[in-house]
Structure 1
């Protein structure tokens, strides 16, 4: 009898603790499931100033995101248009730009939200989307947002006789699962039989929807559409490449680091989108040159993975201002990424970064860069600066922002477009109607 009491004293607390742990894990998994479902927000419009007379009304879907913020900033610098930001999450009040006409909280998957947001709009930049390299993103969510959401935006653009739609895709839509190298591919390269993943598959489908909707006539009637395919974007606020390098986080590269890939500063990609909008208006009663076309917005030249992170620098420090990165074996990175994915799927816990997946590891071992001649010839697009010059300016801006506003470093999310880049005339030279 005494033995039973002793066993009870041991096992009852242990079983109770196990039950508590199971309840917590079930709660975490349920919370993760709700996050994956990305519940629809309540529609909200925050008007900061009334429409300007005779100004073009421009809306950026995904305008609070990395690329969207830079498009917003450059449009405001250009003047001549009222800018409206439409996103599922809005910036905190102290980070909102007072020159933005309105901030609209809504979901591109909801027809009523899109109809409200696009009322009175002339031009739409559709940069909203769900990225794939995160452990907490499902193929279903990507399809719902990237395809169904795009279809909704296109339908509303047609219903409301909106003039222009510029859609953001990705250069890797032409890469297949078995393509280890993509060197200098242009926009004519065919889609693969088997896309890299669900994200690429969703972008391929969305591109088809946008291009099929192009109906502009020489007189300017109908909807003019085009597709932008950026390379790998970097800049302050990217939460990956530049942010990690500037802060000295995850200071390593995978494998020997000799794979080459296409990196372009986000300012250049934003500039390319605006150039495309400018070339969706008929000239001399001719179909706009950009209408119905696809454009690669890339650097046009590849850079080695190791070189970008400063692994080839002389001395103990890289040009990012931290110790030179070290190499970790591919097998170790793949094993850790697998553990990260399995732990999240089973327990709802992210051990490392949410973007640290087997696919993201595998992509660092591929060499891929894309030809940008069509965008340069048709649109007047330019990568602005060499990648190394961009980095030098990023380091300067980051050091300045940290010395004047230390809280920005902790949050690592503000849009701090380089004043040096925007003052070079590349934006000011393209004023006029969007």
Structure 2
């Protein structure tokens, strides 16, 4: 449920290992008492906790309670506890792609785009981000000022990524050949987990610097790195082709047919709702998301708070590939036991 949180936490923790005392509190972001306790004696919050849901597996009410209301409660806790600095981990999905699949090539924060996504996860992250940015300038209990910003991350890959494991399982079941779920020309620019974690550290330092803070307060930033632009399916292949894995050359059916097939599955899900909860393995939103060219520059983040990727594509590819290789025997045993 909080895969993004744990991945970012692990990457950031490695940076300060042996230098900083870390205290871990486990609780519910909807619990006001817990939030008040967690916010005692700190000066900055990096809010990464959210439910990530691309298939509609999570009830909309729970999604809203955690992603939207939880964010608002955390902001209120910061005001009560006099925490001046707040960074929100947002997502590229608050921008799009929209339901028409309009592409963006090397966009930035000023790129005009008609974003009309009705998918619950994207909506919840958009509302949460809006709450964070609008909270900038709010007066704290002690008379200080709350300063906020949001980092819109591209798709995050790296060690510990649950999505990579899901695709790996399907690959192993398909005789070590990755399923092609996105067109080769549907270029995106994923970001390595170590680099998105580093962007948070750099943004935090800038937000606490009076001169730099005035430029980034109340702003959102796209965070990518120097990972080559490629489709989501080709990213899986690039990370593991040295292991001998292959990838299917084309989609299982023409894109238009796949889109309407997903619509049919959604209709079936709707008709069955009074009797059984059936969640299709795909939907129109996911087909559009995976097959729309959608790339963004990190130029503004570099200019405003000095973000420069810490890890090269080759380093990210090697680390992630080694982690996937270490997981292959375990996943084979898991799939074998599941089939037994």
TM-score range, shorter chain: 0.7 to 0.9
Q: In the superposition, relative to structure 1, how do residues 135 and 201 fare at CA in structure 2: closer, same or farther (>3 Å)? A: closer
Cα distance per residue 1:219-277 (max 9 Å; x no partner): x9422211010001111222213663488346211364321112111111111111111
Q: Which has the larger radius of gyration?
A: 1
Q: Residues of 2 paired with 1:171 and 1:161: CA distance?
A: 30
Aligned positions of 1:14-163 closer than 5 A: 65-74=6-15, 76-77=16-17, 79=19, 81-83=20-22, 101-102=23-24, 104-163=25-84
- Normalising by the residue count of structure 1, what TM-score does the alignment of the two structures yield? 0.63
Deviation of 1:64 (Å): 5.2
Deviation of 1:212 (Å): 2.0
Q: Select which of 309, 316, 322 maps to 1:396.
A: 322
Mark the runs of 5 or more structure 2 residues left unpaired by the alignment: 336-340
Check if 1:308 corresponds to 2:235.
Answer: yes
Q: In the superposition, relative to structure 1, how do residues 198 and 192 fare at CA in structure 2: closer, same or farther (>3 Å)? A: farther
Q: Which has the higher helix share?
A: 2
Q: Residues of 1 paired with 2:182 and 2:4: CA distance?
A: 36
Q: Residues of 2 paired with 1:221 and 1:320: CA distance?
A: 54
State which drifts further: 203-212 or 130-139. Answer: 130-139
Mark the runs of 5 or more structure 1 residues left unpaired by the alignment: 1-37, 39-60, 84-100, 413-434
Residue-pair matches, total:
320
8 A contact 2:202–2:306 mirrored in 1: yes
* Higher-RCO chain (CA-CA 8 Å, sequence separation at least 6): 2
Q: Residues of 2 paired with 1:203 and 1:167: CA distance?
A: 10
Q: Residues of 2 paired with 1:252 and 1:378: CA distance?
A: 40
- Normalising by the residue count of structure 2, what TM-score does the alignment of the two structures yield? 0.79
Q: Which has the higher strand share?
A: 1
Cα distance per residue 1:110-169 (max 9 Å; x no partner): 222211222222221101112231331233332222111111000110110013211011
Q: In the superposition, relative to structure 1, how do residues 389 and 180 fare at CA in structure 2: closer, same or farther (>3 Å)? A: farther
Q: In the superposition, relative to structure 1, how do residues 303 and 407 fare at CA in structure 2: closer, same or farther (>3 Å)? A: closer
8 A contact 1:319–1:392 mirrored in 2: no
8 A contact 1:309–1:320 mirrored in 2: no
Q: State the match for 2:338 in structure 1.
A: none
Aligned positions of 1:2-401 closer than 5 A: 65-74=6-15, 76-77=16-17, 79=19, 81-83=20-22, 101-102=23-24, 104-175=25-96, 176-189=98-111, 192=114, 194-215=116-137, 221-241=144-164, 244-245=167-168, 248-249=171-172, 251-254=178-181, 256-283=183-210, 287-299=213-225, 302-310=229-237, 318-327=241-250, 328-329=252-253, 330=255, 331-332=257-258, 335=261, 339=265, 342=269, 345=273, 346-348=275-277, 356-387=282-313, 389-399=315-325, 401=326
Q: In the superposition, relative to structure 1, how do residues 390 and 118 fare at CA in structure 2: closer, same or farther (>3 Å)? A: same
8 A contact 1:235–1:242 mirrored in 2: no
